[in-house]
Structure 1
Amino acid sequence: MSVEQGTNQSVERAAAVLGAFLDGKPQRVSDVANSVGLGQSTTSRLLATLESIEYVERDPVSNLYRLGPALITLAGVAVNQNPVHRAARQVAQNLAASLGLGVNVAVRSDDALFYLCNFEGAKAPKSYVLMGRRNPLHATGLGKCLLSALDGEERRALLPEPKPFTSHTFCDHGELDEIVAEVRRRGYATEVEELALGRACVAAPIFDHTGAVVAALSVSGPLSAVDLPNRETELGRRAIEAADEVSIALGYDVSLAHHVVGVGGEGQA
C-alpha cells in the first residue's frame, strides 16, 4: 500500500508541475516550486525526469523550462480520438476560409466550455491556438448554446453566481433564461463584448444522434469584421448550416430539427 501511495503521490506531483506551465510562460525551477508548493530540490528532480521524456524542455542559455514536444503528440492523439473534433475540423476550417473570420468548436467541461478546434481567417488573426483552453459558459456564444442543453434549475446549480467579465456580461439568471430560450427558438446565439471588449461572435449548437446538444460552433472576430448590425442574419445562417453539417456527421436527423432554418423566420415544430 505504501508503494502505491508513493507512486500516486509522484504522479500527482508530476501533474502539478506540468500544470504550473498552463499560463504559457517559461518557468525557473524556483517559479515552479513556488507554484506547486514543493521544495526546490524535489521540483528540480521532477523537472529533470519530465525533461528526459520530453514532457518539458529546458532552454540551455536561460535555463528556463517550458512544456515539451511529447505533450503535443499526446494532445494530437487525444483530440483526434474525439468524434466531435473529427466531424467538425474540416467544416470549421472551410468556414473560416470562406468568411475570413475565426471559427471555433467547443464542448462543455463541467462549468466551462472546452475548445476542441479553432481556425482563423484573414480578418481575425491570432498568434495562439485556442484548442484545449477553457472559457465561461454564460459570457460566450458557444457557452450559451451549450447551456441550452440544460433547464433553468440545472443552469443555476452549475453557475450559482455567474462572474462579470465586462460591463456587457449577463450575470442574472432571469436574463440568461431569456437568452437560452431565444437560442432554442432561433437556433443560434450572439455575444457582443461580454467576455472581451472589441470582440463579437455568432454560435450554433451541434447535436448528436439522440438530438442532445453535445457541442457548439461559433464564428467570431473583431467587432468591425463581424459587423453584427448588418451581418447577423447571414452569419447566423452560416453558423447553423455548418453546425448542422457536423451534427449530421454525428448521426443527427436534421429533418427533426427544432431550430430556425431560415434565420430570422418562424421556428419549426
Structure 2
Amino acid sequence: MSNDAAPGAGVQSVDRALTILEHLARAGEVGISDLARDLGVHKSTAFRLVATLEQHGLVEQTEDRGKYRLGGGLLRLAGATTARLDVVQEARPIVRRLAQATGETINIAVLADGSALYVDQASGSSSIQSHNWVGQRIPLHATSNGKVLLSGLDPRAALAAAGKLTGYTDGTVTSRDRLAAELVEVRAVGYSVAVDELEVGLTAIAVPLHNMHGDVIASMSVSGPTFRLDAAARDAALGLLRAAADEVSARLGYHSAAGATSA
C-alpha cells in the first residue's frame, strides 16, 4: 500500500468506527452482520472494527453472543468531561469570593495531556489587568497547580506525566530527583508553592480539589506578584485557600477524615 493511500484509509476506519458507535447508541444491541450491512462492508471488516472498539472498552459483547452494545469506556470518557464541568460549576462562586478576600488571582486547573489546563479564573482587587489563563496549558513541573495535580498520581506516573523538565527561570525544577522530593512534600503538607519558577516575579500557592472518592481531580491556586505574596502573605492566603478548597471538594461529594472527626 502506498503512503498516499494510508491516511485516507485511516480516516475511513475512524469514520466507520464512529458510525458503529452511533448505530449502537440508537439500536442498543446489534450483531456483526447487521453492522456490516449498514456500513456496506464485509463482515470481517466490521468484526475488526468492533474488536478494536472492544479493546478500548467502547463496546462490549452481550450475553447473546454475536451482538454488541456500547461499553463502559464511553461512560469513563463522558464522566471525565462531566467532572471537569462540575468542578467549574461548583467552584465558581467560591472562586469569586476567594478572589475578593485575597485580592489576588484565583485559578482552577485540571490535568490534561501532560499539562495543567486552566478552566476558570477570577481576579481580585489587587490584580489590575490580570493575565487571562483560562484555556491555556502550562507545564506541570514549573507551577504550583501542576505539582498539586502531579501529587495526585502514583509517584512513577507523576514523573512520567511531568515530561521534559524544561527550565523557564533559575528557580525552575529541572531535576527529576528534586521534583520527586517536592511531590512527596506536597502529598504530606497538602499544598504547593512556586516562587519565580514559571516567570520571574510570579508566585502561586495551590491546593488540591477532591471528588467523592478522594481523588485529586483539580487544583485551586492563589497567584500574584512575588513582592506582594511574601511569606506572611502566603501564609494568610493559604488558610483562605484551604477553606475554599474544602468547600468546593465538599460540594463535589468529598468528606475528609478531618471533617468527619470534627463533625
What band does the TM-score fall into relative to the shorter chain? 0.5 to 0.7
Change in 2 beyond 3 A, CA 1:160/1:101: closer
Q: Structure 1 residue 173 and structure 2 residue 176: aligned?
A: yes
Instruction: Report the TM-score, using the length of structure 2 for normalisation.
Output: 0.65
Distance 2:159 2:183 in 1: 13
> Quick check: 1:108–1:114 contact (8 Å CA) kept in 2?
yes
**Residue of structure 2 in register with 1:57 after alignment:** none
Q: CA RMSD in A?
A: 2.6
Change in 2 beyond 3 A, CA 1:161/1:81: closer
Code of the residue aligned with 1:188 in structure 2: it is Y
List gaps (5 residues or longer) in structure 2.
13-80
Deviation of 1:164 after TM superposition, in Å, equals 0.7
Equivalenced residue count is: 186
Distance 2:254 2:82 in 1: 21
Deviation of 1:144 after TM superposition, in Å, equals 0.7
Match of 1:153 among 146, 151, 156: 156
**Residue of structure 1 in register with 2:32 after alignment:** none
Deviation of 1:81 after TM superposition, in Å, equals 7.4
Change in 2 beyond 3 A, CA 1:109/1:203: same
Code of the residue aligned with 1:223 in structure 2: it is T
Code of the residue aligned with 1:109 in structure 2: it is A
Q: After superposition, what is the alpha-carbon deviation per residue over 1:222-265, rounded to whole angstroms, capped at 9, x for unaligned? A: 112222x22232222211111111111110002357xxx9xxxx
Match of 2:113 among 84, 106, 110: 110
Q: After superposition, what is the alpha-carbon deviation per residue over 1:102-151, rounded to whole angstroms, capped at 9, x for unaligned? A: 00001000210001101111212335422111101111111110010122
Distance 2:132 2:98 in 1: 17
Code of the residue aligned with 1:157 in structure 2: it is A
Code of the residue aligned with 1:237 in structure 2: it is G
**Residue of structure 1 in register with 2:237 after alignment:** 235
Task: Kindly report which structure 2 residues correspond to 1:63-102, keeping only aligned pairs within 5 A, or say none.
Answer: 82-102=85-105
Change in 2 beyond 3 A, CA 1:200/1:128: closer
Q: After superposition, what is the alpha-carbon deviation per residue over 1:47-87, rounded to whole angstroms, capped at 9, x for unaligned? A: xxxxxxxxxxxxxxxxxxxxxxxxxxxxxxx9997011011
Runs of 4+ in 1 over 4 A off after TM superposition: 78-81
> Quick check: 1:146–1:215 contact (8 Å CA) kept in 2?
yes
Q: After superposition, what is the alpha-carbon deviation per residue over 1:146-182, rounded to whole angstroms, capped at 9, x for unaligned? A: 0101222112322343111111001111111221111
Q: After superposition, what is the alpha-carbon deviation per residue over 1:20-65, rounded to whole angstroms, capped at 9, x for unaligned? A: xxxxxxxxxxxxxxxxxxxxxxxxxxxxxxxxxxxxxxxxxxxxxx
> Quick check: 1:101–1:120 contact (8 Å CA) kept in 2?
yes
Secondary structure of 2:110's counterpart equals strand
Task: Kindly report which structure 2 residues correspond to 1:1-269, keeping only aligned pairs within 5 A, or say none.
Answer: 82-126=85-129, 128-227=131-230, 229-255=231-257
> Quick check: 2:90–2:248 contact (8 Å CA) kept in 1?
yes
Secondary structure of 1:114's counterpart equals strand
Deviation of 1:214 after TM superposition, in Å, equals 0.3
Secondary structure of 1:224's counterpart equals coil
Deviation of 1:219 after TM superposition, in Å, equals 0.3
Identity of aligned residues (%): 33
Secondary structure of 2:181's counterpart equals helix
